[in-house]
Amino acid sequence: MLADLYLCASTVDGASFQQRLEAASAGGYAGIGLRPSHYKAAMAEGWTEPDLRRMLEERGLEVVEIGFLADWWETGELAARSRAHEEQLYRLKESLGGRHMMLIGGPLRQPIGVVAERFATVCDRALDHGLLVGLEFLPWTDTADADRAWQIAKAAGRPNGGVVLDTWHHFRGAADNDLIRAIPADRVVAIQFSDGERERTGTDLEDTFKRRRLPGEGDFDLRSFLSTVAEMGVTAPVGVEVLSDELRKLGPQEIARRAADASRQVLAAAGQPA
């Protein structure tokens, strides 16, 4: 059985910290995704760290996902900037909590063994802060599918390192459930849930950031995906991540409610109520 829903940061990307919590409460989510920029903006508004913790507690919410981290595979100046951002993620974790940290793939340009070593190093630092590390594959990068992401996490050999299964990237990429089945259930760190048209409109990035659909309103075979992870015994949390220009016309609470309702309908139809 999959875990409760959480509201991914990008679904209400323009919301303040308080609006984000109100939206998550309105949608009945168990938690939220958060980025260091959201924390900094809240502090700039005059809130204190105890204020933010109290606001979470009063609504019965937790920070589930923090991120994201890019360029962790790089060297030189890019690696230094990535490392500095990584420290911000740890400060966020220590301030407000967090279950897992998101890493994204990219143009790796090195043998998989080298990439895996760098992934392992991040996992080791994250473990010191009580964090799981999830690698998200992106179809337009060298980490293009679930198989490649799992190769990296498996070669790294760290128990807190695994893969994030984003339905958008899965169906816009390989769309091969057998690649998912090869991943041990306990190494699926999180699922990110959305729907979309099977064919791309515009560039990969334009589609990814502007044209996702609510679960059940697109062409993706979400039922087969959910059946696959259920058969595997995956119990990871499900983050609702619908990046849509259409939804952005609405307020954060309405976006969160619609996304939660749509997700729960699809999950329930697949025998995975949340």
| pLDDT score for 36 | 97
| pLDDT score for 200 | 84
For 244, the token pair is: 């849509």
Question: CA–CA separation, 174 vs 137, rounded Å?
Answer: 11
- How does strand 188-193 pair with strand 5-7? unpaired
Measure Cα distances from 42 to 10, 57, 86, 97 in Å: 17, 16, 19, 16
Ranges of residues in the chain whose predicted pLDDT is under 70: 1, 274
**Cβ-based burial of 127 (10 A; exposed 0-12, middle 13-18, buried ≥19):** middle
| pLDDT score for 271 | 83
| pLDDT score for 1 | 59
| pLDDT score for 274 | 67
The answer, yes or no, to whether the previous bond of 68 is cis (omega within 30 of 0) is yes
| pLDDT score for 205 | 87
| pLDDT score for 109 | 82
The answer, yes or no, to whether the previous bond of 119 is cis (omega within 30 of 0) is no
State the pTM of this model. Answer: 0.95
Report which residue type is found at 125: R
CATH numbers and ranges of domains, the chain: 5-269 (3.20.20.150)
| pLDDT score for 204 | 87
